[in-house]
Structure 1
Amino acid sequence: MLSILTLSLAALMLVIFVPSLFRNETALQIRVSRQGTTLPDGFYVYQRLNAEGIPIKSITPDNDSLVIRFDTQEQSIAAEKVLHQMLPYGFDISQFNPPGSSQLMNRLSLRKQSVG
């Protein structure tokens, strides 16, 4: 009886936590690359991308930059094109990888290699 309960709990944990490790969410980061330039207003960026039909999950300030999150890679690619047209000079627009995300994936791949 205890082993069935343990297996059920383990299966439930997998269903809850594994999808968050492998979600397709992507993000762009806008940074100022020229002195004297200020970051664009997040609401302005939202309005412009929304007008282009690009849905946005969130826009948040992060260490002198704006991070824009999307549900899919396609949305991120489309937004990057629009942002390069909209903010042509004085800005660095690139894919955003949160600091802890690569460490987690490295640990998972190392574990997989040592097991396999």
Structure 2
Amino acid sequence: MFTRLQEKISWRSGLTAVMALLLVLVLSPALFTKETALQITLANERGSLPDGFYIYQRLDERGIRIKSITPAKDSLIILLDSPEQASAAQTALEDLLPETYRISHSRQYPRWRWLYCFNRDISAI
């Protein structure tokens, strides 16, 4: 009876280990790829940032797909799928927005950036 119990536990542990390994293999590309970001800031201290919905609409009209637009300290962060999309978005935004805004490539964010939420320093995100 004791050996049957051991076999049952061993079989379940092996199945759990295989399932965990498969889950890691399936999710690893999504966890370790990076997203490309643009940052919109004010060129001078006067003024306000553009409306995120306006930016979303104008870029969507041009076929540029945005993952998210997030307000950050004194800027807007726009996450895009690829560097090509970021370049197209930067060109479009330079045409759309007046010169009072600075549009620049921001660092690439790992998709698992939500782990940084446990860090109290928001600028690290």
Q: Same fold (TM over 0.5)?
A: yes
The count of corresponding residues between Structure 1 and Structure 2 is 100
Q: Trace 1:91-110 onto structure 2 (pairs within 5 A).
A: 91-97=101-107, 101=110
Gaps of 5+ in 1: 105-116
Question: What SS does the corresponding residue of 1:57 show, helix, strand or coil?
Answer: strand
Q: Trace 1:25-104 onto structure 2 (pairs within 5 A).
A: 25-97=35-107, 101=110
Per the TM alignment, residue 9 of structure 1 is displaced from its structure 2 partner at its CA by 2.3
**Residue identity opposite 2:21 in structure 1:** A
Q: Structure 2 CA distance, aligned partners of 1:38 and 1:72?
A: 28
Say whether residues 1:12 and 2:23 are aligned partners. Answer: yes
Q: CA RMSD in A?
A: 2.4
**Residue identity opposite 1:96 in structure 2:** S
Deviations 1:44-84 (A, max 9, x none): 11111112121211111111211111122211110000111
Q: Structure 2 CA distance, aligned partners of 1:69 and 1:54?
A: 11
Per the TM alignment, residue 24 of structure 1 is displaced from its structure 2 partner at its CA by 4.9
Q: Structure 2 CA distance, aligned partners of 1:4 and 1:95?
A: 45
Q: Structure 2 CA distance, aligned partners of 1:10 and 1:50?
A: 38
Q: 1:8 to 1:43 in 2, by over 3 A?
A: closer
Identity score, percent = 44
Q: Structure 2 CA distance, aligned partners of 1:31 and 1:38?
A: 9
Residue matched to 2:7: none
Residue matched to 1:107: none
Runs of 4 or more above 2 Å deviation? 1-12, 20-25
Structure number having the greater strand percentage: 2
TM-score by length of 1: 0.69
**Residue identity opposite 2:17 in structure 1:** T
